């Protein structure tokens, strides 16, 4: 079943309703139709197919998803990048039978090397050897000059992103979208402003299609979210989960003019934690912990081999103490939570139910580590504390690795 099965119907009655521009004949409809009404629209359930008839419906890309398109194309497919992302993409392509013709690296990174049995080439060699290539981005960057270079290449060639999750095995393809359509629609309906809804539509469309224009069209600087949504005061009790070297503490202080009630910061990686202590160890009313965050207080395995991307993993060689938000704030109030915890966001929320419900702190949470995060985490938070206003913002990054949930 193609993704277009979920495209919006024009408003009408059965037999006079149009599917895009194609008329649906009454004779083609099954005898048993399950008609349901939800808070965001009207639905017909035709077997496993969901058809949105009317209501607050989304505008989502409706063509073949990127992997289906690549499996059909006769054009040469080139993977741009030679790191972990390229390995993940190549592994997936091999399973699907998608043929890759070569690997490309930016000038200055090519050198004389090979990757996955291919000689790594610069763009100029790709252009001379492969007419009309499809270039697949297989690395991430938020640096303006790197984004500009990618967009410059996209003006000359077809450049796509084959979305892969940072953690987890779920690929956000048409099957994943169809399987989770109700949760996706429910999330869209509860978003609190048009920017959030547009961002949600575009990021899902980007994940399905791989087209850069969906992503770049919804880029938004962090300053907008801090000034229009979070609006931090000068007496915040701030919890920084995944504090790294103190960069987000510095960001917090910029928006509070250096004033605050107290700061608690957790950083699980030992080497990075030392850098955090060098930055914030002497600050007043500040507690720093070399710990992770989870849904319970315990010890877990931790993989510290990926620097900023180090995470809790069952195959990790390091033992790490983890705690939960409700333990940290059992006897005090939390007013602002920032969390970028490398795929542990769901467990973090489960360990903070009492605090979120009681204090309703302002939230700044990463939504990009797992494919399901974009709808699962907002729904969890809204269920815990229904008074939250939920927002989404995509900050400049290719691919969509700086998608954040904000709530107040």
Please choose, from the candidates 370, 358, 261, the residue with its C-alpha nearest in 3D space to the C-alpha of residue 311. 370
- Cα–Cα distance for residue pair 38/199, rounded to 1 Å: 22
Q: Please, are residues 342 and 310 in contact by the beta-carbon 8 Å criterion?
A: yes
- Cα–Cα distance for residue pair 207/324, rounded to 1 Å: 32
Beta strand 403-407 with 390-394: parallel, antiparallel or unpaired? antiparallel
Please choose, from the candidates 228, 204, 208, the residue with its C-alpha nearest in 3D space to the C-alpha of residue 218. 204
Please choose, from the candidates 100, 103, 89, 97, the residue with its C-alpha nearest in 3D space to the C-alpha of residue 171. 89
* Per-residue pLDDT tens listing for the chain (408 residues): 344 333 333 333 333 232 333 333 444 444 444 444 443 444 444 433 444 343 468 999 999 999 999 999 999 999 999 999 999 999 999 999 999 999 999 887 777 789 999 999 999 999 999 999 999 999 999 999 999 999 999 999 999 999 999 999 999 999 999 999 999 999 999 999 999 999 999 999 999 999 999 999 999 999 999 999 999 999 999 999 999 999 999 999 999 999 999 999 999 999 999 999 999 999 999 999 999 999 999 999 877 655 544 555 556 568 899 999 999 999 999 999 999 999 999 999 999 999 999 999 999 999 999 999 999 999 999 999 999 999 999 999 999 999 999 999
- CB-hemisphere CA count at 13 Å for 202? 22
The DSSP letter of residue 39 is T
Q: For 276-330, give the DSSP string.
A: HHHHHTT-TTEEEES-EE-SSSEEEEEE-TTGGG-EE-TT-SEEEEEE-HHHHTS
pTM of the prediction?
Answer: 0.84
Distance (Å) of CA 213 to CA 91, 106, 161, 347: 26, 21, 11, 33
What domains, with CATH codes, occur in the chain? 1-57 (no CATH), 66-161 (3.40.50.20), 232-366 (3.40.50.150)
Neighbours of 346 (CB within 10 A): 17
- Residue 252, SS3 per DSSP: helix
Q: Please, are residues 346 and 377 in contact by the beta-carbon 8 Å criterion?
A: yes
The DSSP letter of residue 132 is S
Q: Please, are residues 103 and 82 in contact by the beta-carbon 8 Å criterion?
A: yes
- Cα–Cα distance for residue pair 320/157, rounded to 1 Å: 46
């Amino acid at each position: 079943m193609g993704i277009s099965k979920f495209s919006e119907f024009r408003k009408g009655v059965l037999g006079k309703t149009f599917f895009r521009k194609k008329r649906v004949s009454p004779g083609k409809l099954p005898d048993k139709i399950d008609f349901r009404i939800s808070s965001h629209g009207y639905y017909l359930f035709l077997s496993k197919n969901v058809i949105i008839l009317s209501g607050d419906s989304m505008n989502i890309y409706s063509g073949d998803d990127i992997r289906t398109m690549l499996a059909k194309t006769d054009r040469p497919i080139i993977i741009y990048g030679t790191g972990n992302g390229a390995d993940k993409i190549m592994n997936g392509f091999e399973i699907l039978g998608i043929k890759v013709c070569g690997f490309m690296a930016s000038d200055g990174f090519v050198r004389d090397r090979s990757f996955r049995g291919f000689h790594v080439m610069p763009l100029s060699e790709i252009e001379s050897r492969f007419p009309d290539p499809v270039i697949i981005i297989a690395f991430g960057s938020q640096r303006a000059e790197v984004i500009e270079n990618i967009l410059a290449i996209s003006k000359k060639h077809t450049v796509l992103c084959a979305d892969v999750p940072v953690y987890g095995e779920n690929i956000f393809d048409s099957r994943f979208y169809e399987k989770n359509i109700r949760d996706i629609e429910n999330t869209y309906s509860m978003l609190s402003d048009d920017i959030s809804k547009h961002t949600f539509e575009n990021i899902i469309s980007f994940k399905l299609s791989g087209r850069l224009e969906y992503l770049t069209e919804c880029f938004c600087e962090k300053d907008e979210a801090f000034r229009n949504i979070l609006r931090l005061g000068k007496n915040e009790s701030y919890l920084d989960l995944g504090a790294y070297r103190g960069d987000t503490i510095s960001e917090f202080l910029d928006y509070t003019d250096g004033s605050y009630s107290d700061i608690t910061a957790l950083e699980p990686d030992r080497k990075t934690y030392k850098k955090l202590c060098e930055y914030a160890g002497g600050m007043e009313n500040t507690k720093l912990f070399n710990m992770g965050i989870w849904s319970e207080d315990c010890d877990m395995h931790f993989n510290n081999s990926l620097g900023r991307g180090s995470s809790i993993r069952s195959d990790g060689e390091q033992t790490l103490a983890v705690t939960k938000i409700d333990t940290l704030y059992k006897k005090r109030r939390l007013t602002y939570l920032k969390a970028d915890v490398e795929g542990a966001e769901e467990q973090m929320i489960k360990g903070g139910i009492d605090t979120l419900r009681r204090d309703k702190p302002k939230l700044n949470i990463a939504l990009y580590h797992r494919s399901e995060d974009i709808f699962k985490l907002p729904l969890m938070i809204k269920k815990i504390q229904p008074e939250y206003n939920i927002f989404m913002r995509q900050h400049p990054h290719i691919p969509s690795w700086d998608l954040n949930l904000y709530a107040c």
